[in-house]
Chains A and B, each alone.
Chain A
Amino acid sequence: MRPENPAWRLLTVALVLLIGAGLYWATIKVNYQWRWDRVPEYLLMTGGEEVLSPVDGTVAVSGKQIILTPLLGGEPQTFPQIDVVQVSDGEIVFANNTLGKKAGVTPGPLLVGLWVTLQISAWSLVFALVLGLIAGLGRVSANPAARDMAAIYVELIRGTPLLVQMFIVYFFLGTVLNLSGFVAGVAALSVFTGAYVAEIVRSGIEGVSKGQMEAARSLGMSHWQAMRHVVLPQALKRSLPALAGQSINLVKDSSLVSIMALTDLTKAGREIVASTFSPFEVWFTVALMYLVLTGALSVFVRRLEKKMAHD
């Protein structure tokens, strides 16, 4: 290979700067007020977290502890560690009234949203891998029923938009089975991603040479033993890059759960934008946060691949 001319890299930098300048110029054209100074507080709040009363009730204050007895009956609720108490003993409060504040730095809405996104993605990934493995094995099964079921699952899921599936899960299954937004979100994402994982697993298995299965069977191993100890380990190793890509997609796809009553990173961004006039800053920040997540994921997978290539 010929050595690259470093001038190309300079051109890259120049082009990126040009595009950035273009964007900046465009915002000036629409008289956009950049307010980057506001962004940190969406990430970390220093003002202290407000504690709101969940129901109407009577409060009893003792030191930093507030005990709320609901007016409509029910168990009294205890709120410990309220640093700045803003109600007095015996006062009647209504739902969403401020009881007080907790001191110190608390995560802002974007970090809270990121945490939700992270949890949803992690749970969905686990279930999607399990589901995809089962469906992938079904695809290559000798049993026609297993093969058909797996094929129907994969085709149905891959043939319809994720957003539509989300609506179905949330508004139909969610209502029938009374699922929380979180459970519905994880269910929809797992089922969706599982179909793609199934195809990755299938092509991974088909990529392992037939001689491997033959050799294992000729030693008296059952089909399942041969699959588990000989074919699958090789198939999964081959599939790792594709699975990594799919899990990165999963993190990005998780932004669609914001249609459910669930404040993930995207929904948090939307809520902030609705109450402020800083859409650009917020959305750029949100994008950057997704990028950090997906970037970390691909670095992790690259490490894993290197490690697996060694042994």
Chain B
Amino acid sequence: MTKPTTEVLIDAREVSKVYPNGTQALTNVSLQVRRGEVVCIVGPSGSGKSTLLRTLNAMESITSGEVIMDGLNVHAPKTNLNEVRTHAGMVFQQFNLFPHKTALENVMLAPMQVLKHTLDTARANAEKLLAKVGLAEKAQSRPSQLSGGQQQRVAIARALAMQPRVMLFDEPTSALDPEKVGEVLEVMKQLALEGMTMVVVTHEMGFARAVANRVVFMDGGELVYQDAPEAFFSNAQHERLRSFLGQVLPH
């Protein structure tokens, strides 16, 4: 794929996370993401993929370690979390579109509220973004009138509207009907081609193989192995990775 820069955009160092109920979700996870890089995170259910992703934009607090995003210490007490989050767009498995607003309004809301864009600027931007994800003609539709794939594409446009430096995806296609997966992956691929920095938790090994610069394997709250896709998917040495790939890849 496109060549990432050498500049580190996200630097997670020795991050550990224990949930209030005592679950140890992350243990000393270190992950670097360079500007323009696409990193896919894979691993079995409950391995801490979502938790890791959510610590990157402070949707989840951490127990120890630190996360530096573009020079900003994300989890430092003085950090303005709202500012951190404007720099990191997040796309959820369940889309989470605002049901009481049209597609266009979904995309316009945060730029107007947070970035204080005027109505006209926000609308012009939103229209451009909806066109980019192929939904220009659905601008006035409510989420309930859209298919899952269309909703997820609106959600991507909504996140892009904040002009983020990185996009975080948490299993963006897992809640979709199989025939709708392609249209969402296509939009993500396009983003990657444009040089967007992306961290993608996914079960779509085909996407990881084709689009990622690096694939990360998590298991039991640890970052077990990471490599370029070529090497990652042909790796035969690592025991846990091999057994995981054996389960998810077609034989």
A positions within 8 Å CB-CB of B: 209, 211-212, 214-222, 225, 229-230, 233-234, 237
A209 to B97, CA, bound (A): 11
Write out, one digit per residue, whether chain B residues 211-245 have a CB within 8 A of any chain A CB (1) or not (0).
00000000000000000000000000000000000
| A-B pair number, CB within 8 angstroms | 62
Pairwise interchain contact A219-B100, C-beta atoms closer than 8 A:
no
Which residues in window 106-130 of B have CB below 8 A to A?
109-110, 113-114
Is B159's CB within 8 Å of the partner chain A?
Answer: yes
List of B residues within 8 angstroms of A212 by Cβ:
96, 98
The interface residues of chain B lying within 8 Å CB-to-CB of A214 are 59, 92, 96
Q: Which residues of A contact B100 (CB under 8 A)?
A: 233-234, 237
A216 to B109: give the CA distance in the assembly, Å. Answer: 9
On whether the beta carbons of B98 and A215 are closer than 8 Å, the reply is yes
Chain B contacts with A in 55-111, Cβ cutoff 8 A: 57, 59, 82-83, 85-86, 88-90, 92, 94, 96-100, 109-110
Q: Which of A211, A215, A225, A233 contacts B114 (CB 8 A)?
A: A225
Task: Return 20 A-B CB contacts under 8 Å, by A number.
Answer: A215-B90, A215-B92, A215-B98, A215-B155, A217-B82, A218-B159, A219-B85, A219-B90, A219-B159, A220-B110, A220-B162, A221-B109, A221-B110, A221-B114, A222-B82, A225-B113, A225-B114, A229-B113, A234-B98, A237-B100
Residue of A nearest to B102 (CB): A311
A216 to B88, CA, bound (A): 13
CB of B17 closer than 8 Å to a CB of A: no
Contact B86 A220 (CB under 8 A): yes
Residue from B90, B97, B99, B109 in contact with A218 in the complex, judged by beta carbons closer than 8 Å:
B90
Chain A min CB distance to B51 (Å): 14
Interface size on B, residues (CB 8 A): 24
The 4 closest A-B pairs by CB, nearest first: A220-B86, A215-B96, A219-B110, A211-B96
Bound complex: CA of A209 vs CA of B94, how far in Å?
A: 11
| Shortest Cβ distance from residue B74 to the other chain A in the assembled complex, whole angstroms | 13
Residue of B nearest to A228 (CB): B113
Question: B35 on the interface (CB 8 Å rule)?
Answer: no
**Which among A218, A229, A233 has the greatest number of chain B C-beta atoms within 10 A?**
A218
Tell me if B85 and A217 are in contact (CB < 8 A): yes
Given A211-B94, A220-B162, is A234 in contact with B99 using a C-beta cutoff of 8 Å?
A: yes
Other than the given A219-B158, A221-B110, 19 more pairs (CB < 8 A) read A211-B94, A211-B96, A215-B90, A215-B155, A217-B85, A218-B85, A218-B88, A218-B90, A218-B92, A218-B159, A219-B86, A219-B110, A220-B85, A220-B86, A221-B109, A222-B82, A225-B113, A230-B98, A234-B99
